Amino acid sequence: MSGNLISSIQNEIVKEHYLKKLSMTIETSYDALIRQLDKKAQSSEQNPVLKIQKQNRREMLEEYLLSLIIQGTNPKDLILKSKDILSEYKFEIPSIGKIFSDLAIFLNKSEKFTIEAFSKNLAKELSPIFDKCFLLPLPKFENSSKYQEEVLRVSKDLRITFLKERIKEIGKNLKEKAETEEEIEKLQKEITAIASQFSSL
């Protein structure tokens, strides 16, 4: 799990909470994690330049959705419901799309989801975003039904946003690039087909 993410937490109580959660997950001692973070902190002081990127709404929702799924009590059920809604959806953050796909395959083969089993075969470059989503603080929900409703709501929100952006893109192509009647008709049909999907959400 990524130490940089935990090191960036300013609230010491919150940091301790996630360190304990992480120590149980990867089966190592709390003290060992503290020593490792101290090393990271010393290394960061030597190279203090960090690149901060702003996220758009879709990116934040994608991270939130993955967090809900991997922190849920029944990830298999949650990802199946989310996948149904997000058919043909193209992730704004490719790494989350890859994790989403890998997770669906993993859960299809395995009845039980554990962080250790899944992260063991996760590509190294995907680990930072996976760690971030696993440790992302989530709201409190009354029960499992409310939790599931939130997964469905976020999935639908992402699908609607994606469809709107797709219609906007096709409309732009219709205005700027379509030259023949055949091209215009094809783009118009595509817009109509996408618009019809809104009624199912």
Please give the pLDDT value at position 105: 92
Task: Over range 8-13, report the average pLDDT.
Answer: 56
User: For the packed helices 57-71 and 144-176, what is the interaxial angle rounded to 10 degrees?
Assistant: 150
Residues 186 and 108 in one domain: yes
Q: Is the pLDDT of residue 4 over 70?
A: no
Q: Are residues 58 and 22 in the same domain?
A: no
Tokens coding 85: 């809604």
Do 88 and 169 sit in the same domain of this protein?
A: yes
Q: Are residues 105 and 200 in the same domain?
A: yes
Measured CA to CA, the distance from residue 158 to residue 57 in angstroms comes to 9
Q: Say yes or no: 128 and 182 in one domain.
A: yes
Do 105 and 129 have their domain in common? yes
From 46, 62, 81, give the residue that closes a domain: 46
108 & 86 share domain? yes
Same-domain check for residues 78 and 174: yes
Q: What is the mean pLDDT of the chain?
A: 79
Q: Is the pTM of this model over 0.75?
A: no
Q: b/e map of 70-106 (b: 16 or more CB within 10 Å)?
A: bbbeebbebbeebeebbeebebbbebbbbbbebbbeb
Same domain for 148 and 177? Answer: yes
pLDDT single digits (tens) 130-141: 999 999 999 999
CA–CA distance, 64 with 115 (Å, rounded to integer): 17
Same domain? For 189 and 125 the reply is: yes
Residues 157 and 69 in one domain: yes
Q: Worst-scoring range by mean pLDDT, 45-54, 104-113, 126-135, 143-152?
A: 45-54
* Residue 138 DSSP SS3: coil
Whether residues 127 and 67 fall in one domain: yes
Give Cα separations from 133 to 45, 64, 68, 115, 180 (angstroms): 26, 7, 8, 12, 47
CATH of the domain at 99: 1.10.860
List the domain range (segments joined by +) for residue 162.
53-201
The answer, yes or no, to whether residue 151 has pLDDT greater than 90, is: yes
Number of domains, the chain: 2
